[in-house]
Amino acid sequence: MSVLKEINPNVKNIKQLASVVLAREASQISEELREGVRKPYEEVIDVSSGDPHRAGVKPLSFVRQVLAACAYPQLIDSARLPVDVRQRAQKLLGECVGGSVGSYTSSEGSPQIVRRISEFITRRDGGIPSSPENIYISPGSEWSFMSTLRLLVNSEGSPRTGVLTPVPCQSTTNMTITLLGAVVVPYHLNEERGWALQVEELHRALESAKGACNPVALYVINPGYPSGHVQSRKSMQEVIRFVSEKRLFLLADEVYQDCVYGEKSEFLSYRRVLSEMGPPFSDTVELASFHSASQGFLGECGLRCGYVELVNLDPGVMEYIYKVFSIDSSAPVLGQIALDLMMNPPQPGDPSYPLYKEETENIRSTLVQNVKRAVEVVNSLPGFCCQPVEGGAFLFPRLYFPPKAIQKAKEAGVQPDTFYCARLLEQAGVLISPGCENGQKEGTHHIRFCIMTSEKTMEELLRRLTCFHSQFMKDFS
């Protein structure tokens, strides 16, 4: 008899993601294509996740050159690399124990890189000082999120701990909350108003939790995932007043802060807005802000590195933070280096600056063009409605399915948007994700796909989607 017969009930409560099943089917289709099986397409376009490199975005040369030299120090003596690349690699290796990226760093991260992150945050927030003592580097922002939640969730308490989370949001957030034995308290973003966060809805969500759980935290994503909404200063101030009044811990996911392209949109960190509001908010509201090397123009998802900055936590609580973050020996060192390069890119006058500027501007201009084209094409298709996208890396359009399609999905035992995505993959070779994974208002249906890809790939994706959708609507009208 298996020793695992008594599975943790929190694990049992985690549902299988439809995207995992679709990804397996996509792998099978790709294998069939390699074996010569004839299909209406030559390859699968995978835009199901926020992985820019998987979607065809090329890594930044400066980042990869420094990483290469750090991993293979003999390259530091090679004239094939720009002099500033070699100097940066030499400096970073000098900060590694034993001069090797194969060595551990401190549990909270390389002290020098942590210090430079605090300097970056200070610059980003208009000079508001950031303390290295409040920053912890981790194996990705999701790891930071889970570790911070561990301090907030009372697994033995009754009622259980609750966390207010947006609808829609990434599926892994709700899975993490469930795994820790807490309760997800959903609040809906207003789709008709461009996925705006409205404080009235926060009050409704908090009221709905009475008797079911004890809410201790509010989780916000800015820029929105997958909604693409960018919060205004006024909206953020309302949120801060709300958490202050209700004595909630504020968890701010800000990993897409570099990806803002709405004409009237601007990224402001919650830390900055909180500080500029002044007392009593600036010195009482407890905040954790997350950032990562995975998202944005760097897109180094596979290197697994991010950080959390903690604001206004009691010194006694910070001792427990250190204990929780010390469970792992350290975040991947190459990931920490990538994080450092994201905070401190080449500057004007550096040999690597012209190419770095060209590559990043190309990514930005491509992203802006992709957003414009994707929204334009999707909104031209019958049954689709997509709100303006101001930031982030996704489109999250709404789909109005014919009753016949909804009935067919019901017979298949899946959600209508999952049914749609499965047929799109099979018939057109496009892998996207169903909106039911991210949460959506009851009776609505969405799809999600990454827009951070090449223009050529985006045009082919939109061509396939248009052809498929037209036929789908004919088949089920």
397 and 443 in a single domain? The answer is yes
Of 281, 311, 343, the residue that ends a domain is: 343
Residue 157 gets the label, from left (phi > 0), alpha (psi -120 to 50) or beta, of: beta
120 and 230 in a single domain? The answer is yes
- Specify whether the CB–CB gap between 405 and 420 falls below 8 A: yes
Inside any domain, residue 88: no
135 and 160 in a single domain? The answer is yes
SS3 170: coil
Inside any domain, residue 15: yes
* CATH number, residue 303: 3.40.640.10
238 and 279 in a single domain? The answer is yes
324 and 376 in a single domain? The answer is no
Task: Quote the number of domains for the chain.
Answer: 2
What Å distances lie between residue 424 and 50, 375, 419, 431, 467, CA to CA? 19, 18, 9, 7, 10
Query: Cα–chain-centroid distance for residue 187?
Result: 19
**pLDDT given at position 55:** 83
Inside any domain, residue 121: yes
150 and 273 in a single domain? The answer is yes
Inside any domain, residue 77: no
380 and 329 in a single domain? The answer is no
**Positive or negative torsion for Cα 411, 414, 419, 425:** negative
Q: Is 53 exposed, middle or buried (0-12, 13-18, 19+ CB in 10 A)?
A: middle
- Specify whether the CB–CB gap between 428 and 449 falls below 8 A: no
Inside any domain, residue 152: yes
Inside any domain, residue 98: no
Length of the chain counted residue by residue: 477
What is the domain range of residue 410?
A: 9-56+357-476
Q: What is the pLDDT along the chain (477 residues), one digit of tens a residue?
A: 455 456 566 665 666 677 889 999 999 999 999 999 999 999 999 999 888 888 888 999 999 999 999 999 999 999 999 999 999 999 999 999 999 999 989 888 899 999 999 999 999 999 999 999 999 999 988 888 988 998 888 877 789 999 999 999 988 899 999 989 999 999 999 999 999 999 999 999 999 999 899 999 999 999 999 999 999 999 999 999 999 999 999 999 999 999 998 888 999 999 999 999 999 999 999 999 999 998 877 888 888 899 999 999 988 888 888 787 777 768 899 999 999 999 999 999 999 999 999 999 999 999 999 999 999 999 999 999 999 999 999 999 999 999 999 999 999 999 999 999 999 999 999 999 999 999 999 999 999 999 999 999 999 999 999 999 999 999 998
Of 287, 314, 343, the residue that ends a domain is: 343
108 and 166 in a single domain? The answer is yes
- Specify whether the CB–CB gap between 172 and 255 falls below 8 A: no
What Å distances lie between residue 19 and 8, 79, 172, 353, CA to CA? 24, 45, 12, 39
242 and 366 in a single domain? The answer is no
Structure tokens at 215: 């809410």
**pLDDT given at position 292:** 94
The verdict on whether omega for the bond into residue 226 sits within 30 degrees of 0, i.e. cis, is: yes
Inside any domain, residue 181: yes
**pLDDT given at position 117:** 97
**pLDDT given at position 288:** 96
SS3 51: coil
237 and 376 in a single domain? The answer is no
* CATH number, residue 470: 3.90.1150.10
| Distance between CA atoms of residues 335 and 342, nearest Å | 11
**pLDDT given at position 395:** 96
One-letter amino acid for residue 4 of the chain: L
Query: Could you tell me the pTM of the whole model?
Result: 0.94
395 and 249 in a single domain? The answer is no
By 3-state DSSP, what share of the chain in percent is helix, strand and coil, each rounded to 5? 50, 15, 40
Secondary structure E strands in 149-228: 161-167, 183-188, 214-221
**pLDDT given at position 316:** 80
Inside any domain, residue 191: yes
Determine the angle formed by the axes of helices 333-343 and 83-94, rounding to 10 degrees: 130
**pLDDT given at position 7:** 59
Of 343, 377, 411, the residue that ends a domain is: 343
**pLDDT given at position 10:** 65
323 and 369 in a single domain? The answer is no
